[in-house]
Amino acid sequence: MTPELHRPVRTARIGPDGFALRVEASPAECAALAERMLIPAVHALTCAFHLRREGDGVIAAQGHLHAEVVQTCVVSAEDFDVTVDEPFAVRFVPAGEESDDPDPEADDEIPYEGDVLDLGEAAAEQLGLALDPYPRLPGAVPPEPDPEADPHPFAPLAARRKPH
C-alpha cells in the first residue's frame, strides 16, 4: 500500500556532498494525512531534508518540519489551529539492520528496502511524533462540576439494585 505522502528518492542521488530535498504535501495528501493522524485538518505540510551517507547503507537525515494543522482541545472539545515547526534528525537503515539499542537520545531509525528512501513517509512520521497527544487550547478551563449531579456515575444503577 502506498502511503498518503509518497516521495521516493533513490540512494544513488546522494553524492559526496549530500543531497537536499523539500517535500510539500498537496491538498489531497493533507486531507489523507489528517485522516491518518485522527485530527480535523492538515492545512499545509512542508519538510526540508538534507541527506548524507554514513556507510554500510546508512543515510543520516537532518530535517525541518513545518505544518499548519487543526487539533481538538482535550478540555473544551473546540478545534483550534496549531503550527508545528521543528527540526529533527533520523537515520535511514537497510531493513533488518535496525539497532537494538534502546537509547532514547539516539536518532530514530527508519528501515528502507532496496535503494529507495521514502521521504514523504518520513515527513508524515515526523508530523505524527510532533503532534501534541493532549492538545489544549490556550486558556481552556475544564468545566465546573454540576453540584446537582449525582456524586457517582453509577449512582442511578445503585438505586435500582434490589435488596437481598
**pLDDT class of 150 with cuts at 50, 70, 90:** low
pLDDT of residue 141: 81
pLDDT of residue 6: 93
What are the boundaries of each domain within the chain? 8-160
C-alpha cell at 143: 468545566
**pLDDT class of 164 with cuts at 50, 70, 90:** low
Question: Could you read off the pLDDT of 82-137 as tens digits, one per residue?
Answer: 999 999 999 999 988 888 777 778 888 999 999 999 999 999 999 999 999 999 99
Number of C-beta neighbours around residue 73 at 10 A: 16
Instruction: Report yes or no: 40 and 79 within 8 Å, Cβ to Cβ.
Output: yes
Question: Could you read off the pLDDT of 38-55 as tens digits, one per residue?
Answer: 999 999 999 999 999 998
Q: Distances from the Cα of 93 to the Cαs of 3, 17, 114, in angstroms?
A: 19, 19, 11
Strands (E), the chain: 8-10, 19-24, 41-55, 58-72, 79-94, 108-112, 116-118
